[in-house]
Structure 1
Amino acid sequence: MVAAVAVVGVQALTERYDRSVARGHLLDDDVRRDRTDPDGPLTYLLVGSDRFGNVGKADERSDTILVVHLPAGLKRAYLISVPRDLLVAVPPAPNGYGGGQDKINAAYDLGGGGEAGSRLLSATLHRLTRLEFDGAAMIDFTGLRKVIDLLGGVRMCVDTEVRSVHTGTVFAPGCQQMDGARALDYVRQRYDLPGGDYDRQRHQQQLLHAMLQRAGETNLRGDPLKLDEVIRAVGGSLTVDTNGVPLEDLVLALRALPSDGLVGLQVPSSPQVISGVSYVVLDNGGNGLFESVRTGRAAQWTAANPRWVNHL
């Protein structure tokens, strides 16, 4: 009887949190993996818009584009930040867009924003990398701010002084505790940084690492009310496409991922000015990075290419 009650209780909690997560059709049907194994390997697309709360509005671009790859066993996750100004071939879209060369962060807007924009972005990435995806998520950074605050803030280490172009806040060098608003403001900055957008990508990866680390440090299991708040806040900040895999299966599979299992990667590329417009162009087709993901050799590629590995 006790075992039966426990099973029913776990199922009820799973269903409650499952209902808090919005579902969407975020991947183009031609880029989906035919069969997804929750135990991996898994490759996901994470998209964050720069105009949260205005999904589907005009001129909405994807401020954050991350390819997350987890080899079989799910003990490591490779965070691959795609430069927002990367020059790509955007395929035609159902909304009438005929296709053409553009920055990759424009694909989201050219597809119509929202779910349709995410689908065109996934198709653009597939054309560039030949990767198939096991799922996708759209991140609402307003909701993510609440998650950080519920965790008690995160510890971020600022390496270069920078002034926020959004709030005017000056971030001084050194490790410091940041609340949600401050942390998200910091990781959006790219101007006046030595590496420009590459530094912004690294800071976003560091934030994800800091959140996972903080979640591990916090005794959420011993505080059911706080755990409930955090899980609902996480669910409220995401729209997910699980490619038909039950969400609870993915959650159970990913819970063993350690905070030190995150590896931050940059896409081998360099900035170029073409016809007066600033772009980022792939170095030698990405220098084998995407092929290593497709063939299960991400660890070997990382070891051989330390230049493109971010310190988290």
Structure 2
Amino acid sequence: MGSGAPRWARALVGVGLALALVAVAAVVGVQVLTERYDRAVARGHLLDDDARRNRTDPEGPLNYLLVGSDRFRGTADADQRSDTILIVHLPAGLRRAYLISVPRDLLVAIPPAPNGYGGGQDKINAAYDLGGGGDGGAQLLSATLHRLTGLEFDGAAVVDFTGLRRVVDLLGGVRMCVDTEVRSVHTGTVFAPGCRQMDGAAALDYVRQRYDLPDGDYDRQRHQQQLLRAMLDRAGQTDLLGDPLKLDELIRAVGDSLTVDTNGVPLEDLVLALRALPADALLGIRVPSSPQLIGQVSYVVLDDGGNELFEAVRGARMPRWAAANPRWVSPL
């Protein structure tokens, strides 16, 4: 992000709510931004009661759940699986943000849901659909993660990544660096190695791919983390103050892409608490795990290192864990 952008603007990507504010945080004041944001974005009850932290300390540690889906907000589609699941952890002092990507095929125990689902073993990305999508789906997903990790969450956001294409386009595209050739199974596009400017359709197509990559879904997770950082970088380079019509269009676009649950904390208070997060504070984390074929179905299975990761988050020991496990850490 550009050096002239407020530090809190960078921080917001770490809490998920950034995807609504990232494009405008560098050019408008906190109060104006939050007032306009509050009118544009949908609010939801996204966290299961057992997964919700009863009291949020603005100085941390903080945990946020970010769920990415191609369909949400009252969609009637049968398949509403969550393609992206991020746990964002900020240790006390809010000087670092860890973006922990949960593998979509992770084998978990999904608890019963109020909609009649009786619970069972499945891939974690099925929890959103089994809970009925929308608020209910997010609640079941958060309950599943709480059971798996022991974590409680300070807030959550459900992001329609299809809707984010418009946000990226309004930013003028983002610069993405491709390290390994990627062929899209959706459009046939071949993304050759090298850095280039991508529009919204290309960027979202690129970060959805996982087949034929050296590390499969783990590479997809890293690419999605890189997109969040690229959006921040682009926001710091874009001046929207001189174009109020475009600014309002952007706010509407991000509002159409998000449903948020701030756990009762006013957005302005959250912004002010996070304003000192440094520009280089984002680290991408892969959950230690391995693929396994079980009953002719491909799953990802958590290993002891994954359990140690979540123990480190619960025990406020993430800096020590990251230093001891560099293979699972990617600076963004």
TM-score, normalised with respect to structure 2: 0.86
Alignment of 1:97 with 2:117, yes or no, is: yes
Q: Which AA in structure 1 matches 2:61?
A: P
Alignment of 1:126 with 2:150, yes or no, is: no
1:206 aligns with: 226
Q: Percent identity?
A: 83
Q: Which AA in structure 1 matches 2:175?
A: R
Is the 8 Å Cα contact of residues 31 and 132 (structure 1) preserved in structure 2? yes
SS at match of 1:85: coil
What whole-Å deviation, never above 9, does each CA across 1:223-250 have from its counterpart, x for those lacking one?
6555444444333321001111112222
Q: Which AA in structure 1 matches 2:286?
A: Q
SS at match of 2:168: helix
What whole-Å deviation, never above 9, does each CA across 1:49-81 have from its counterpart, x for those lacking one?
133576353121011100011122323210000
Is the 8 Å Cα contact of residues 73 and 134 (structure 2) preserved in structure 1? no
Aligned residues: CA RMSD:
2.0
What whole-Å deviation, never above 9, does each CA across 1:198-228 have from its counterpart, x for those lacking one?
1100100111111112222334466655544
Which shows bigger deviation, 34-43 or 116-125?
A: 34-43
Q: How does 1:1-312 map to 2 (within 5 A)?
A: 11=31, 14-51=34-71, 55-220=75-240, 226-284=246-304, 286-312=306-332
Higher relative contact order (CA 8 A, sep 6+): 2
Unaligned segments of structure 1, at least 5 residues: 1-8
CA–CA separation in structure 1 for the residues paired with 2:76 and 2:289: 30
**Superposed displacement of residue 275, structure 1:** 1.1
CA gap of 1:234–1:76, structure 2 versus 1, over 3 A, is farther
CA–CA separation in structure 2 for the residues paired with 1:294 and 1:226: 42
SS at match of 2:162: helix
CA gap of 1:11–1:78, structure 2 versus 1, over 3 A, is closer
Is the 8 Å Cα contact of residues 56 and 114 (structure 1) preserved in structure 2? no
CA–CA separation in structure 1 for the residues paired with 2:31 and 2:74: 34
Question: Rg bigger for which structure?
Answer: 1
Q: Which AA in structure 1 matches 2:314?
A: R
Is the 8 Å Cα contact of residues 40 and 255 (structure 2) preserved in structure 1? yes
Unaligned segments of structure 2, at least 5 residues: 1-28
Q: Which AA in structure 2 matches 1:83?
A: P
2:10 aligns with: none
Q: What number of residue pairs does the alignment pair up?
A: 304
CA gap of 1:98–1:53, structure 2 versus 1, over 3 A, is closer
CA gap of 1:162–1:54, structure 2 versus 1, over 3 A, is farther
CA gap of 1:164–1:272, structure 2 versus 1, over 3 A, is same
TM-score, normalised with respect to structure 1: 0.91
Is the 8 Å Cα contact of residues 209 and 259 (structure 1) preserved in structure 2? no
SS at match of 1:260: coil
What whole-Å deviation, never above 9, does each CA across 1:25-67 have from its counterpart, x for those lacking one?
1000111111012332210001111335763531210111000
Which shows bigger deviation, 55-64 or 17-26?
A: 55-64
CA gap of 1:249–1:235, structure 2 versus 1, over 3 A, is farther
CA gap of 1:143–1:38, structure 2 versus 1, over 3 A, is farther
CA–CA separation in structure 1 for the residues paired with 2:165 and 2:110: 32
Is the 8 Å Cα contact of residues 184 and 209 (structure 2) preserved in structure 1? yes
CA gap of 1:53–1:180, structure 2 versus 1, over 3 A, is farther
CA gap of 1:35–1:149, structure 2 versus 1, over 3 A, is same
